[in-house]
Amino acid sequence: MNPVDLFTRFSDWLTGLVFYSVDVGGATLPLIVVWLVVAGAFFTVWLGFMQVRGPKLSIDLVRGRYSDPDDAGEVTHFQALATAVSGTVGLGNIAGVAIAISLGGPGATFWMILAGLLGMATKMAECMMGVRYRREHADGSVSGGPMYYLRDGLAARGMGGLGKVLAVLFALFMIGGAVGGGNMFQSNQATAQIIAVTGGEDSYIADVPWVVGLVFAGLAGAVIIGGIKSIARVTEKIVPFMAGLYIVACLVVLVWNVGAVPEAFGSILTGAFSPEGVAGGAVGALIVGFQRAAFSNEAGLGSASVAHSAVKTKEPATEGFVAMLEPFIDTVVICTMTALTIVITGAYTNPDASELGGVALTSDAFATVLPWFPNVLALAVVLFAFSTMISWSYYGMKATGYLFGDNVVAENTFKVVFLVFTVVGSAAALGPVINFSDSAIFLMSLPNLVGLYLMAPEIRGVIRSYFDRVQKGEVTQVPQPTR
């Protein structure tokens, strides 16, 4: 058996293992989704429903109300949030939502939103711990994330051996996910979208897609060579722009069909609780909605913790409050806008909807307003893909550095390998690679959540202590510059 066939078989086996599913009410339920949703529900209750109690504090932190520029770290709260959001806001928000609705009907949107709200608590826990156990280097740079809190946090609880094993597994899974799902898949799908809007099979780049990959690699290289500070400077500009562009585009579609808005919301609520219907009715809608939300916002995977660990702060809990905004932005806002656009235009009712593919279905929804509107979507896809790539390059770099003792040479070597695969991804047939990388990304949740459960008392203590001190006025706001 040649190496390609061997890898294909291995990736298929791994995918079957990671996404092992059971039949529930006629719908297929991957157990890894249950693992992630249960974690969100647990930390929601365990942390005292901070999604409801803490948003004002989260926004104040992002605005710099409690930020001291002299604190250790490399980036501001807003830059850390923008970097992490850029890693989660991607093709899942466009293609994934379309797939959810084509499979589970409009009702999947309701459950997708609920899963996003639950994920806010998981994201808060993992990102707080990332800051709490980060490593600050002599040059001012920072290394953090699940690798460090799994190793050091569990060691502090007398489980050092288990912590080291979980940390190494997490780092290996993150490297696989970064090269594949966080890079090659993004490059491949962005290239496909560019070809589609420039003529399809007749496009002047249809026969040389690697040229697009080369451009992506050049742009990504110019950003990631400078590390997290360079990435943060780009993401703090590109994330608000791309999110704003996409939301405005969705709003144009909604305003154009404003008379159908009440009916769209009605179909979402009805479909969420309908006993019968698409993909098994309410059960099918729930499963598909939870699955797409978990795949989109990455709550529980631990990836965002790596970016948030670089924040300038002396209070680990602050970044927990900032990080919980991510699933809200990613799932509750952007995914919901995609869903409403598809539902309100009725694009999902197309008999060929299940065969169109995610991006194509969303593109059809935009095209119902203006024929050239898919070009706006194409720009959004490219921006989403690029921002995801540069964020995941940092995640993979830090995972590589961890395995080699925070070695800078190892980190820089990973950057080169990452950029090579950017070019490969633009032109390759990615089936087995994507199966492997998707599996690696979701395997990250196994060591990450095991560690978070074991350290749950510490997580609650740190977060509640800080929140109580803020409420009592014991944490003073930083004076803001006058304008």
Sequence letter at residue 243: A
Residue 353 has pLDDT above 70, yes or no: no
Residue 330 has pLDDT above 50, yes or no: yes
> What is the secondary structure of 359-422 as a DSSP string?
HHHHHHHHHTT-TTTHHHHHHHHHHHHHHHHHHHHHHHHHHHHHHTTS-HHHHHHHHHHHHHHH
Question: What per-residue confidence (pLDDT) applies to 157?
Answer: 92
pLDDT digits (tens, 9 = 90+) for 6-28: 767 877 888 888 878 887 766 67
Question: What per-residue confidence (pLDDT) applies to 311?
Answer: 86
Question: What per-residue confidence (pLDDT) applies to 279?
Answer: 46
Between 234 and 286, where is the model more confident? 234
DSSP, res 140? S
Sequence letter at residue 231: I
Average pLDDT over residues 412-434: 79
Average pLDDT over residues 154-169: 94
| Residue 276: burial class (beta carbons within 10 Å; 0-12, 13-18, 19+) | exposed
What are the extents of the domains in the chain? Answer: 22-470
Weakest mean pLDDT among 91-105, 129-143, 280-294, 340-354: 280-294
Q: Are strands 21-24 and 135-136 parallel, antiparallel or unpaired?
A: unpaired
Between 202 and 312, where is the model more confident? 312
How does 297-307 read in b/e, with b if 16+ C-beta sit within 10 Å?
bbbbbbbbbbb
| Residue 413: burial class (beta carbons within 10 Å; 0-12, 13-18, 19+) | middle
Question: What per-residue confidence (pLDDT) applies to 234?
Answer: 77
User: Taking the domain 22-470, which CATH number applies?
Assistant: 1.20.1740.10
How many CA within 13 A on the CB side of residue 180? 21
Q: Report residue 230 as tokens.
A: 């360079």
pLDDT digits (tens, 9 = 90+) for 17-59: 887 888 776 667 788 888 888 999 999 999 999 999 988 999 9
As a whole number, the mean pLDDT across the chain is 81
Question: What per-residue confidence (pLDDT) applies to 257?
Answer: 85
Alpha-carbon distance of 124 to 302, in angstroms, equals 10
Weakest mean pLDDT among 22-26, 148-152, 214-218, 250-254: 22-26
Number of neighbouring beta carbons within 10 Å of residue 443: 22
Residue 396 has pLDDT above 50, yes or no: yes
Residue 329 has pLDDT above 70, yes or no: yes
How does 104-132 read in b/e, with b if 16+ C-beta sit within 10 Å?
bbbbbbbbbbbbbbbbbbbbbbbbbbbbb
